[in-house]
Copies of this chain bind each other. A is one copy, B any other.
Amino acid sequence: MAKMIVVYKHPANPEAFDEHYFGVHIPLAKKLPGLRMYEVSRGPIASPRGASDTYLVGTLHFDDMHAIQRAFASPEGEACALDVPKYARPEDVQMFLFDDRAV
């Protein structure tokens, strides 16, 4: 399996972020070809030292890295990429794409 993990820092306007993320971005991303599952954090993101500056974590599951590459090369992938700057500043978004396996 492969994952794309997207980590968002606290936005200046959480209401506007939520409205766009849940109302526009998730519906767009759910059209990505090859997407197997889309998970979104619920409630605050903690760190072992307590509160954190992270607001939301999205995890998109695909079969492998090739599937992720194909998804992002598709028109649906392009639409997703173009949508992110509409609700988050680039410096507030971290993305991690990788193959993984249970150990």
Q: How far is the CA of A45 from the CA of B98 in the complex (A)?
A: 5
Instruction: Tell whether, in the assembled complex, residue A39 and residue B102 are in contact, meaning their CB atoms are under 8 Å apart.
Output: yes
Copy count, this protein chain: 2
Given known contacts A7-B96, A81-B48, A98-B46, A26 and B103 CB-to-CB distance under 8 angstroms: yes
Q: A32-49: contact bitstring with B at CB < 8 Å (1 yes, 0 no)?
A: 000001111111111110
C-alpha gap A44/B103 in the complex (Å): 17
Q: Does A97 contact B (CB under 8 A)?
A: yes
With A102-B38, A103-B39: A46-B5 Cβ-Cβ less than 8 Å:
no
Looking at A40, A41, A65, which has the most chain B CB atoms within 10 Å of its CB?
Answer: A41
Encode A77-103 as 1/0 by CB contact (under 8 A) with B: 000010000000000000111111111
